Structure 1
Amino acid sequence: MKKGVLLVNLGTPETPTAAAVRTYLSRFLADRRVIDLPRPLWLPILYGMILPMRPPRSAALYRKIWTKQGSPLLLYTQTQARQLQALLRESIVRYAMCYSEPTVTTALQEMQADGVTDLTVIPQYPQYSTTTVGSVFDQVAAYFGQTATSPQLHFVSSFYQEPSYIHALANQIKRALKQQPAGHLVFSYHGIPQRYADQGDPYPQQCEQTTKRVMALVGDVPYTQSYQSKFGPGQWLQPATAQVMRTLPQQGVKQVIVITPGFVADCLETLQEIDHENRGYFMQSGGSEFTYLHPFNGSPTFTRLLATIAVGQA
C-alpha cells in the first residue's frame, strides 16, 4: 500500500494582472457550488458584467499583497505541503488548487502515476461549506469517476473539532491578550449567502462551535463573531465584519484583536480586506488599536495538525 495526502485550497491568480485575475474568476465564479443561481440567469451576468469590470480592480488589490516570490496563498500552501512531506516520509504529499494551478486533476494524475493506492484528501477549510469543501469533493469525485481504478479514499470534510486546531487558535489569542489585555476579540469568518444556510449548509453552526470551543479555553474575554467577504446583492450571514468594525468604537470598544479561524493561510481576504480595509473602518470610527492575528501560514503547529489528521484517516 502506497499512501498519499493531497492538500487542497481555493486558488489564486498566477500574477496580479487583470488578465490573470479574469482567468481565475472565470473558473471560480462559474462553479455551481459557489454560485447556485440558474445558469441562464447567472452566466450573462458573469460574462457580461463581472468579468469585464471586476478584474482590473481586483488586480490592483492583489498587487498590494503580492510578494517577490508570488501569491501569499500559494507560497504558504507550498510551505505546508513541504513541511508535511517532511513529517510523513512514507507518504507522497502534494497540494492542489480548486481554481488555479496546480489543479486537482493534475495533482491526482501525478499521484496515480506515483502508484498511490491509499489517498487522504484534506481541503484546507476547517469548517465545511458546500461552497468550499463541497467543491473539492466534486472535483475529486469527477476525476475518479472517469478512471478505471481508484485508491482507497479518505476525504476530510472538516477539522474544526480537532483539539489541536482549537488549542492553536486559543494559544495565539492568549499570547495577543498578554500584549493587549483590554482587547475585544473579533472572530471573522468568510461569509456565505444566507439561502445556503437555510438549505442546510452546516457552515454557520460549525463557525459558532469553533468560536465557542476557542473561548472555552481563552476564558472570560468579550468577543464578537462576524462574517466577511460578501459578494453580490443577496442576504449573507450576519453580522458583517465591516459593520462590526464601524460600530464597536461607538460602543466604547477602542482596542480589538481580530482572528480569522476559517483561513489557514493569508490571502486577499485576510491581508487586504481584514488588515487594511477593516482596520481602516475601525480606526476611522474611533478605535485606537487594531491587532490582526495572522492564520497558521507556515507554522509547524499547523503542519503537525495536518499530520495528525492524515494519520487518523488511515
Structure 2
Amino acid sequence: MMIEPVPTAAQDTVPKPPDHPKVRSGRIGVLLMNLGTPEGTGYWPMRAYLKEFLSDRRVIEEPRWKWWPILNLIILSTRPGRKGKDYASIWNKERDEGPLKTITRSQTEQLAERLKPLAGDRIVFDWAMRYGFPDVKSRLKALLDQGCDRILLVPLYPQYAAPTSATACDQAFRALMEMRWQPTVRVAHPYYEDPAYIGALAASMRTSLAKLDFDPEVILCSFHGMPKDYLLKGDPYYCQCAKTWRLLRTELGFSEERFPLTFQSRFGPDEWLQPYTDETVKALAQAGKKSMAIVAPGFSADCLETLEELDGENREIFLHNGGEKFAYLPCLNDTQEGIDVIAAVVQRELMGWV
C-alpha cells in the first residue's frame, strides 16, 4: 500500500543574521545496509576485508587473547588466497566488484525510483556496506550534507542476528557518536514474517522452478549458520529463520520432507546450528535422491555464500555422490519482487515522517 505524500513543514522565513552558518535540513534519508565485499580478489584486498570482518566482536565472540593469534598468524596468512579464488569465480568483471555491491546499488536506485511519488525529492536514498566500501560513516555524512535530519537505517537482513543486523547498526551508532548535531534515527524492524516478504519469496520460487526441466524431489531451505552458543545466549536468529521457513512452506504447500530446513557456511571447530546444508546434500544423494534444488531466503542478494557455496560447492557434492540434477534458485535480488519487499518495509517504517 502506497502512503500518500503530505506537505512538508513551512520553512522558517525569519531573516537570519549575516554570519549564520548555512544549514540544510528538512529531508529524510534512507540508508540500505548490507554485509560487504572485498575491493578486489587479490591477496591484499582480501586480507583487508577479512581482517575487518573477522575482527568484529559481534562476529567472533572468542576472547581476544585466544582469537588474535589465530586470526593474524594463521587465518590472514592462508585464507585470503583461497577466498580470493572463490570470489574470482563470481566477480562482476565489467564493474570490477563483487555481485553483492552491484545488486545493492541497483536495489537502492530502483527503490528511489519506486518511492519517488511518496515525497518527491524530500527523501534521499543511499546504500552502504558494513565491511568494505562504501562505508556506513561516509554515507551517513553524505545524507546529512544533503539536509537529512531524519534517517531510516535498513539492514537488508530479513532475520535479525547480532553478527549481521546488530553490527551494521553498531557501525552507524559509532558514526553518530562523533556528530555534534545528530539526526533522528530509526532502524527498520526485521521482516522475516512480513506477508510481502513471504509472498515475494513464494512467487520468485515458483518462477524459478517453472524454468527448470525437472521437478526437484527435495528443495532445501538453506539459511546462513551461526554458532549454537549464540542461540543459547539469546540470539533470536534461529527462531526467526524457522518462522520464515514455516510460513514459506505453508505458502507453497510443501511438506517438511519436500522442503527441509538447513544451515550453511559454518566456520571453525565449534558446533553450529543444525542440520548442516552440505551434510544434508551429501546424505540426500547417497540415499538415492536424483534431483534437488536449494533456495536461500535469508539473503536479500546473491553473494559468495549463495553463488559459490550453494550453486558451486553443494552442486558438486550432490553430483559427486550420485545425484543427477541440481538447481540453485536465486535470491530476490533487484527483481520486481525484491524491490516490492524493500519498498514495503521502508514505507512501513516511514509512517509518521511522511
Identify which of 253, 258, 261 aligns with 2:289.
253
Note if 1:171 corresponds to 2:203.
Answer: yes
Verify the 8 A CA contact 1:83 1:300 in the aligned structure 2. no
Q: How many pairs are equivalent? A: 314
Distance in 1 separating the partners of 2:271 and 2:164: 19
Matched, 1:287 2:328: no
Contact 2:200/2:341 (<8 A) preserved: no
Task: Report the alpha carbon displacement of residue 293 of structure 1 after superposing the two structures with TM.
Answer: 0.5
Secondary structure at 2:315's aligned position in 1?
Answer: helix
CA contact (8 A) 1:194 1:236 kept: yes
- For the residue of structure 2 that corresponds to 1:98, the secondary structure is strand
Question: Equivalent residue for 2:248?
Answer: 214
* Residue 173 (structure 1) shift: 2.4
Do 1:256 and 1:290's aligned partners in 2 also have CA atoms closer than 8 Å?
A: yes
Instruction: Give the alignment partner of residue 81 of structure 1, picking from 108, 118, 126.
Output: 108
Partner of 1:162: 194
TM-score (norm 2): 0.86
Mean CA deviation greater in 103-112 or 147-156: 147-156
Q: Secondary structure at the match of 2:163?
A: coil
- For 1:248 and 1:256, locate their aligned partners in 2 and report how far apart those are by CA, in whole Å: 9
- Quote the offset at 1:177 in angstroms: 4.2
1:182 shift after superposition: 4.4
Aligned pair 1:268/2:304, yes or no? yes
Contact kept, 8 Å, 2:209 with 2:329, in 1: the verdict is no
Query: 2:134 maps to what in 1?
Result: 102
Q: Report the RMSD for the aligned CA atoms in angstroms.
A: 1.3
Aligned AA (1:130): A
Q: Which residue matches 1:239?
A: 275
Task: State the AA in 2 paired with 1:94.
Answer: D
**DSSP 3-state at the match of 2:131:** coil
TM-superposed deviation, 1:115 = 1.1
Q: CA shift at 1:39, angstroms?
A: 1.1
Residue 59 of structure 1 is matched in structure 2 by 84
2:39 partner SS: coil
* One-letter amino acid matched to 1:19: W
1:176–1:257 CA contact under 8 A, matched in 2 = no
Which of the numbers 198, 203, 206 marks the counterpart of 2:237? Answer: 203
Give, in angstroms, the shift of residue 252 of structure 1: 3.2
- Distance in 1, matches of 2:195 and 2:345, equals 11
- Following the alignment from structure 1 to structure 2, what is the Cα–Cα distance between the partners of residues 80 and 173? 19
Give 2:3's aligned residue.
none
Match of 2:11 in 1: none
Which amino acid in structure 1 is aligned with residue 333 of structure 2? N
* Structure 2 counterpart of 1:181: 215
Describe the shift of the 1:310–1:220 C-alpha distance in structure 2 as closer, same or farther (beyond 3 A): closer
- Taking a change above 3 Å as real, the CA distance of residues 51 and 87 of structure 1, as seen in their structure-2 partners, is same
Separation in structure 2 between the aligned mates of residue 98 and residue 232 of structure 1, nearest angstrom: 22
Q: Does 1:72 align with 2:99?
A: yes
Provide the secondary structure at the position in 1 that maps to 2:260. strand
For residue 224 of structure 1, what is the amino acid of its counterpart?
Answer: P
CA-CA distance at 1:311 after TM superposition: 1.4
Could you tell me how far apart the structure 2 residues matched to 1:243 and 1:205 are?
21
Secondary structure of the residue aligned to 1:37 is: coil
1:127 aligned residue? 159
User: Partners of 1:183 and 1:170 in 2: how far apart?
Assistant: 17
Distance 1:202 1:286 in 2: 37
**Shift of residue 174 of structure 1?**
2.5
Q: Which moved more, 1:236-245 or 1:180-189?
A: 180-189
Match of 2:227 in 1: 193
Check conservation: 1:8, 1:98, Cα contact below 8 A: yes
Secondary structure of 1:112 counterpart: helix
CA apart distance, 1:188:
0.7
How far off its partner does 1:156 sit? Answer: 1.6
Name the stretch that deviates more: 67-76 or 176-185: 176-185
Tell me what 2:261 maps to: 225
What is the CA-CA distance between 1:152 and the residue it aligns to?
Answer: 2.2
Query: What percent of counterpart residues are identical?
Result: 37
Q: Is the 8 A contact 2:204 2:332 kept in 1?
A: no
Pairs within 5 Å for 1:10-89? 10-68=35-93, 69=95, 70-89=97-116
- Amino acid in the other structure paired with 1:124: L
Q: Deviations over 1:32-86 (max 9, x none)?
A: 0000111111111111111111101111111111122221111001100111111
Amino acid at match of 1:175: T
Which residue number corresponds to residue 148 of structure 1?
180
Aligned to 2:147: 115
1:133–1:157: 8 Å Cα contact kept in structure 2? Answer: no
CA distance in 2, matches of 1:264, 1:303: 10
Contact 2:30 2:126 (C-alpha < 8 Å) held by counterparts? yes
Task: Find the counterpart in structure 1 of residue 22 from structure 2.
Answer: none
Structure 2 segments unaligned to the other structure (5+ residues): 1-25
For the 8 Å contact 1:259–1:292, the answer to whether it is kept is yes
Q: Look up the match of 2:14.
A: none
**TM superposition score normalised by structure 1:** 0.97
* C-alpha distance in 2 between matches for 1:289 and 1:130: 36
